[in-house]
Amino acid sequence: MRKFLLAICAASLLLTGCAEEKKPAPEKILTEAVDVDLTKLSATMVYSAVFDIVENPAEYRGKTIKFRGKYFVAHDPAKDEYHHSCVIWDETACCMQGMEFELADGAYPKNESEITLIGKFDTYTIQKIDNPILRKARLAD
């Protein structure tokens, strides 16, 4: 009986000690809500939806958009700037539509790779033309 009581006391001390010990916080899980998810649509529907987003930017500004396409990077030597884009083709691959993006972590993939992006839709203006861009974007699975 005495051994049993000692075992209970030892177990309670261990449990009390563990409760006070600070455990590392679990990794933050990204659960941001996606307002417009284009990954579940056919190629033609995605192309049409991106076309609508580009043509009607005010309706989408600030919304979180998710889509899949091919990554392309272009360098502007005059300004020494890089422009990162994700391009989507329609079903017949005769037409394409794209959108620039800025990755929040700056770790861009290999050029011409297939990617899925999630980011906040915005525009920036060059010579009175609104250009679509996903800001604070991240690569998704």
pLDDT in tens, 21-62: 444 444 444 456 899 999 988 888 888 888 899 889 999 999
* Rounded mean pLDDT, 111-125: 95
5 lies in some domain: no
Residue 30 falls inside a structural domain: no
| 24 lies in some domain | no
Give the pLDDT score at 32. Answer: 64
Is residue 107 in a domain?
yes
Inside any domain, residue 102? yes
pLDDT in tens, 57-93: 999 999 999 989 999 999 999 999 999 999 988 777 7
22: in domain: no
Residue 116, domain extent? 36-139
Tell me, what's the pLDDT at 21? 46
Q: What is the CA radius of gyration of the chain?
A: 24
> In this structure, what CATH number is given to the domain that contains residue 72?
2.40.50
Q: Structurally, how many domains does the chain consist of?
A: 1
